A and B are shown apart, each in its own frame.
Chain A
């Protein structure tokens, strides 16, 4: 069974149509235009300085770069947003994000977005168990760590002597 604790309409509701344009990690980091994953084929976005391995350490490093730090549980704290990281058979499977109202939101693979009461709603099945919680300040725009490749350097505005270039 994919999600044995999920009950539609009770602790789970679909909030969008299915799409392949983004995935759970991007959605947990508040992005909806990118698939972020540490795949060994280097097909999906991933910070170049982090290892491309489907391990919880790599995923925690990703969220650390995005401004998160480890925390203890899924409790709601004002002004703080949390993410829950899932692992099954030693391999990362999913990430969910806490909303300001205390509920949680997930992007299910290449399927739909969903709201759920707690991280445990999606645990116990295909996604395994929650092994880590992380948090960051909710204020401000969502930030992602720099993704490969680094942005192109700005055009030179000064000459070798340090003087401004003339237009």
Chain B
């Protein structure tokens, strides 16, 4: 090992130690719990193997929660990306009051998800909420936003997009600002229109930033818990029971820390897999 490598490790050591303590150890402990017979009623940590994983994976509710989580995450990220990119492109054209636009657009991001859920719960309240009152005032039928099993997940997706798009706008705006001017000037000389410039210059150059935005949001969405807890508690039926809520239910309602940890660990593995694939794609592109 060279001197500079040794110095690098020495400088990184305090940070790595802290990370190991505050992140590595809890993850290892959760992994141990997921392989044990530990429950709130029998809190001793006896390793028993993969039984908890087999147990939860044999339940239809687990697979339905996993399916819903995939649907939810992909829909929200797609929505956030499309809306975020559109707004970021529009903001690129704005010259005056840019700061004001950004301040307003990032407000939802600054709010706690629990507060967002509570606000939307009031807005969408079927009888007294302002959304249905408006519909009713316009002579339109009122809608059961969170009580209709075919609509509840879509409503949650909409609320999530409303809150999380700000982050995508910020990232993509930063990416757009850093794009070089030369390719655009050359394209203009060659007679390329705005649409061609977008497809052949903006999108390819923006791809690394866009991928980062997508992967960060995917990780966020896979972990969604607050919205489910406040808005629907997984209902009606199981129509909004995402995997994180399933894990919570197992651990704290079912008192089975081991099964809850197993479900949470599966969630972690999925998120890890997405991250690894993303970095692989990014690296391959670089080389």
Q: Do A and B come from one complex?
A: no
